[in-house]
């Protein structure tokens, strides 16, 4: 079967939103503009992303001269209810959720926590909505004294469990997450249970790369399912496998940080000559967005921009590369949670028409439909392909 682009690479810059959606007020996100507000605080030097048209869709003082590479640029609105990573990634691959995952701003019910404690054999600290780093400062010392697990949630549909690796081994923490998944994932429909191991001493705790997400399986058929069923290789880099509960994934590469993710991605270009490579770079969100660190966020954007400059010459003439995001997380606002924002969609490759304005897409699912169209698969229920637009058809 002939494909317009035999190999497609999608890089998700986790939380790099570009301005509030019309319904942002419903989520308490008025004024959120992750990229624009960072730029106002710390002017961003992003020559590579600008060359793909980022300055034409984000409020970073762009002009028509920015889009110097062959490329198409636009922005996508989230049609699903919600603003978390699972919802965003699922929608990119074709699923639009009418109801958001449940959230627990006041913590989980006492009977749930009691059963979790009974099944794990450990006590529970916290059970509140909190910043992941702040709760380690507050409850980490007590956890080290007692061995009780730190349980917390956020504005997202998550049940997070933090434990010091010297107090609770990583395998035991993972078993506790599996117990929680049965209780609140399968039982209550919570989107994700997340293992949050950490190390260090009071006052200097650090979360480790042994994070692991236990997500509900997608509620419908995705592009990943269609591609895998058709024998098209699907390679996941970063937390992609976790977000889709492994469904539709052929091979998964877990990463320690964004640089490691880019290293894996570059290496994968030499191993996967055709198919779909789907990468998530999570540090933007976890290390900088949730910690309200605009300077750190800006520095990570500039590091990625340099890595992208190195990646582009490695693309083959018939490759398609798409850079996008899954939601916002504005580090300049009081909130440390995700934000309901537009996301960029930047497409480039030798076959991509130059300076194509894709406009505002009504759903992230347009990306999944474009992928389905490219690989000659049956259309997904949601989304409109922009394949013909990017090839100048």
* pLDDT the model gives residue 69: 66
pLDDT at 70 > cutoff 70: no
Whether the CB-CB separation of 382 and 94 falls below 8 Å is answered with yes
What is the C-alpha to C-alpha distance for residues 393 and 388, in angstroms, rounded to an integer? 5
pLDDT at 297 > cutoff 80: yes
Residue 357: count of CB within 10 angstroms of its CB: 13
* pLDDT the model gives residue 67: 63
Residue 322 bridge partners (DSSP): 10, 347
Residue with tokens 């895998």: 228
Tell me the DSSP string of 113-173.
HHHHHHHHTS-EEEEEE--HHHHHHHHHHHHHHH-PEEEEE-SSSEEEEEEETTTS-HHHH
* pLDDT the model gives residue 210: 94
H helical segments located in the chain = 34-41, 47-51, 85-92, 110-120, 132-146, 170-180, 186-188, 223-229, 240-243, 258-269, 283, 294-311, 365-374, 387-390
What is the C-alpha to C-alpha distance for residues 161 and 184, in angstroms, rounded to an integer? 13
Average pLDDT over residues 44-50: 95
Superfamily (CATH H level) for 110-214:
Phosphopentomutase (3.30.70.1250)
88 three-class SS: helix
pLDDT at 169 > cutoff 80: yes
Domain boundaries, the chain: 7-97+219-390, 110-214
> In this structure, what token pair is assigned to residue 17?
């939103």
pLDDT at 279 > cutoff 90: yes
Average pLDDT over residues 351-366: 95
277 three-class SS: strand
- 10-34: per-residue pLDDT in tens? 999 999 999 999 999 999 999 999 9
> In this structure, what token pair is assigned to residue 153?
């949630």
CA 131 to chain centre: 18
Question: Among 51-65, 322-336, 363-377, which is the least confidently predicted range?
Answer: 51-65
Q: Helix axis angle, 34-41 relative to 294-311, nearest 10°?
A: 110
Q: Helix axis angle, 365-374 relative to 85-92, nearest 10°?
A: 30
Options 3.40.720.10, 3.30.930.10, 2.40.10.220, 3.10.580.10; CATH of 7-97+219-390? 3.40.720.10
């Amino acid at each position: 079967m002939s494909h317009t682009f035999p190999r497609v690479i999608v890089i998700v810059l986790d939380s790099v939103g570009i301005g509030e959606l019309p319904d942002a007020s419903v989520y308490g996100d008025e004024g959120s503009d992750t990229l624009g507000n960072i730029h106002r605080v710390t002017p961003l030097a992003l020559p590579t992303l600008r060359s793909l048209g980022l300055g034409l869709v984000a409020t970073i003082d762009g002009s028509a001269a920015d889009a110097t590479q062959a490329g198409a640029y636009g922005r996508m609105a989230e049609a699903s209810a919600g603003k978390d990573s699972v919802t965003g990634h699922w929608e990119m691959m074709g699923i639009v959720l009418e109801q958001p995952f449940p959230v627990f701003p006041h913590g989980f019910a006492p009977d749930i926590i009691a059963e979790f404690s009974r099944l794990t054999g450990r006590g529970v600290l916290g059970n509140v909505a909190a910043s992941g780093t702040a709760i380690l400062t507050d409850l980490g010392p007590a956890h080290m004294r007692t061995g009780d697990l730190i349980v917390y949630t956020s504005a997202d549909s998550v049940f997070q469990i933090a434990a010091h690796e010297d107090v609770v081994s990583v395998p035991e923490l993972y078993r506790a997450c599996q117990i929680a998944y049965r209780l609140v994932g399968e039982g209550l429909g919570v989107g994700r249970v997340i293992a949050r191991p950490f190390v260090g001493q009071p006052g200097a705790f650090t979360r480790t790369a042994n994070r692991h997400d236990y997500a509900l399986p997608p509620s419908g058929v995705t592009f990943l399912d269609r591609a895998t069923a058709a024998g098209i290789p699907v390679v996941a880099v970063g937390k992609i496998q976790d977000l889709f509960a492994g469904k539709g994934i052929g091979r998964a590469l877990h990463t320690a940080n964004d640089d490691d993710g880019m290293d894996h991605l570059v290496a994968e270009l030499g191993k996967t000559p055709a198919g779909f490579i789907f990468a998530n770079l999570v540090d933007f969100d976890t290390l900088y967005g949730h910690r309200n660190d605009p300077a750190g966020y800006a520095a990570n954007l500039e590091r990625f921009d340099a890595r992208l400059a190195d990646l582009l010459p490695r693309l083959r003439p018939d490759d398609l590369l798409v850079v996008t995001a899954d939601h916002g997380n504005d580090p300049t606002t009081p909130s440390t949670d995700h934000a309901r924002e537009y996301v960029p969609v930047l497409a480039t490759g030798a076959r991509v028409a130059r300076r194509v304005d894709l406009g505002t897409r009504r759903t992230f699912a347009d990306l999944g439909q474009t992928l389905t169209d490219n690989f000659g698969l049956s259309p997904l229920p949601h989304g409109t392909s922009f394949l013909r637009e990017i090839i100048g058809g």
